[in-house]
Structure 1
């Protein structure tokens, strides 16, 4: 081992003390230029690769910006808010009719292209033009109502999750945000989402001002069904009795009628007397 190390040291010493031939300056310059050329080529390749990446990113941004510009400038959102005390009539791009209720808002695209849809806050009645190729969707904060062509109301209570969808004609499919199930309802049914619970209610499709009617002609309808309608409309409660059971009635109810006016008409037609407690809003039905 020691002999091997000594041999290495001797060879290094000889090399160190040996004479070195001087390299011509021209050869040094040629070698230096060749080295610089190799370095510059590698640098240019790196710059070119970087340029391609920058150009590609710029192209992607340009496409995104162009698409966004086209969608929002050439097909902008339309927003309508009804701050009046009356229904506001709106005709959508496909010809569908919306009656926007007071203190409600809606927004939609200026043109319906691949899909038809609106976003709603508050309440509105929809009469949707049928299109078998394009479904129509009404979205609220908690529900999505999907239809092809039908008439219905959607009521999303402001500031709450609670919602109600009432169907007059056709068929709709209702889904709730955060739930996998969907519910299909038929005319005369209301989908009710209240306090995180879901249930279906029945109602008379002819007894409604939500569709834009100024009056309702009630023809030979059960009196108790009319009283149910009046309870919802005027936030009162009728004390039904044996007199109201199986009783039928025919009359016209105007949209502008007050509860007192309707009760006066009923008292004349049925020879009855109606007394309402102003505190509890309970209405008693008495025979004259």
Structure 2
């Protein structure tokens, strides 16, 4: 076997799929290759076995990195874990600028390469406002369910491993359940319920309606829903307004609507959670 043949054999060995084989079979395959490639004098035997050790070591290294890259090695993948041990909602900004509002005692986990691998694991309940990225779908694994989106707003909540509820407020999502071939597409206002192996898709009311309602009532709603107090000149409190608000509407949008209707200037103080309209 000349040098080109040897090089070809080694290239084939390197490119071959890395699979585990019985030790005896490994040795037999090596002996067969060694006899063809190195039918030389005994004094070269030490070099032959050194080459064998080198190739086995190279294949072992290749196997290690293959396992690491496919996620079969838990130690190779680093995760970020965010918990909310408090009694109030915790707002979290993900690396792709998506926003998560963690309910008390909820937890999320995601890989450090999140911008290219937008997969979140959730325990508990959270609201997600997802940045659109057609190249990298966003998914939330919760119990036996997976919610997959491109960019939208929805809540996911679990009550144990076999009970999950997903409420969709904007956009569309695809639902999948572990060990099943079916999938479900939700539209805004639809709720996906998984419990003890059964699935139901139902309508729910995603709006808060205010019909000719005093502004003081809207202010109380903002305090209850978002946790922000509102300061506004007294003469506006009894003014009446008709509004339909998405229950998960962004606070800045709600404040902006009121400010525009009454030609007021809004200021939001995040430190004390206070909104001033003047």
TM-score range, shorter chain: 0.5 to 0.7
CA distance in 1, matches of 2:114, 2:126: 19
Partner of 1:192: 193
Deviation at 1:109, TM superposition (A): 2.6
Map 1:136-285 → 2, pairs under 5 A: 136-157=138-159, 159-207=160-208, 218-219=210-211, 252=218, 254=221, 256=224
Q: What RMSD, in angstroms, separates the aligned Cα atoms of the two structures?
A: 3.2
Between 125-134 and 75-84, report the one with greater CA deviation.
75-84
Instruction: From the superposition, tell whether residues 146 and 62 of structure 1 become closer, same or farther in structure 2 (CA, over 3 Å).
Output: closer
Partner of 2:112: 110
CA distance in 1, matches of 2:62, 2:97: 37
Deviation at 1:63, TM superposition (A): 4.1
Instruction: From the superposition, tell whether residues 74 and 52 of structure 1 become closer, same or farther in structure 2 (CA, over 3 Å).
Output: closer
Contact 1:75–1:111, Cα closer than 8 Å, also in 2: no
Contact 2:96–2:115, Cα closer than 8 Å, also in 1: no
Instruction: From the superposition, tell whether residues 142 and 63 of structure 1 become closer, same or farther in structure 2 (CA, over 3 Å).
Output: closer
Partner of 1:77: 79
TM-score normalised by structure 2 residue count: 0.56
Cα distance per residue 1:52-78 (max 9 Å; x no partner): 33332354267469869xx99998421
- Pick from 39, 43, 57 the counterpart of residue 40 of structure 1: 43
Unaligned runs of 5+ in 2: 1-39, 226-278
The number of equivalent residue pairs is 179
CA distance in 2, matches of 1:57, 1:111: 27
Partner of 1:230: none
Map 1:81-100 → 2, pairs under 5 A: 81-100=83-102
CA distance in 1, matches of 2:197, 2:63: 43
Deviation at 1:96, TM superposition (A): 0.6
CA distance in 2, matches of 1:178, 1:165: 19
Larger radius of gyration: 1
TM-score normalised by structure 1 residue count: 0.54
Partner of 1:239: none
Partner of 2:130: 128
Instruction: From the superposition, tell whether residues 74 and 205 of structure 1 become closer, same or farther in structure 2 (CA, over 3 Å).
Output: same
